[in-house]
Amino acid sequence: ILNVEQSPQSLHVQEGDSTNFTCSFPSSNFYALHWYRWETAKSPEALFVMTLNGDEKKKGRISATLNTKEGYSYLYIKGSQPEDSATYLCALTGTYNFNKFYFGSGTKLNVKP
């Protein structure tokens, strides 16, 4: 079992604030990391797939970085909007079985207008 930890558990910000959260994982057993956005009453939707140390990905106001040597990934949201309110999940696969995904418990973001 791969231990994937996300922090903080929840976050409340004002519209326009920039924010970031963390996904931590065992650096010795990494193959790929996925970020997903999960709105209430919907299904998770993919944001990024990251496989290389130093990867940086961007989609609009959302970006992510990956450090496999120290075992973390950051997700940044610039200028948060109410529609960014969702739970953000990261998922990891390891070198021993790269098709077996382990999800963190998520960071729940609430953006107040």
Residues of this chain that bind other proteins (CB under 8 A):
1, 4, 6, 31-32, 34, 36, 43-46, 49, 51, 89, 91, 93, 97-106
Cα–Cα–Cα angle for 51, 92, 22, nearest 5°? 90
Token output for 103: 């999800």
Q: How far apart are alpha carbons 11 and 4 in whole angstroms?
A: 19
Least distance between other proteins and beta carbon 45 (Å): 8
Is the peptide bond between 8 and the residue preceding it cis, with omega within 30 degrees of 0?
yes
Least distance between other proteins and beta carbon 34 (Å): 7
Comparing CB distances to other proteins, the nearer of 74 and 101 is 101
The set of residues, in sequence order, having a beta carbon less than 8 Å from that of 80 and lying 6+ positions away, is 13, 14, 15, 16, 17, 18, 19, 61, 109, 111
Least distance between other proteins and beta carbon 3 (Å): 12
Least distance between other proteins and beta carbon 6 (Å): 8
Comparing CB distances to other proteins, the nearer of 3 and 27 is 3
Comparing CB distances to other proteins, the nearer of 36 and 71 is 36
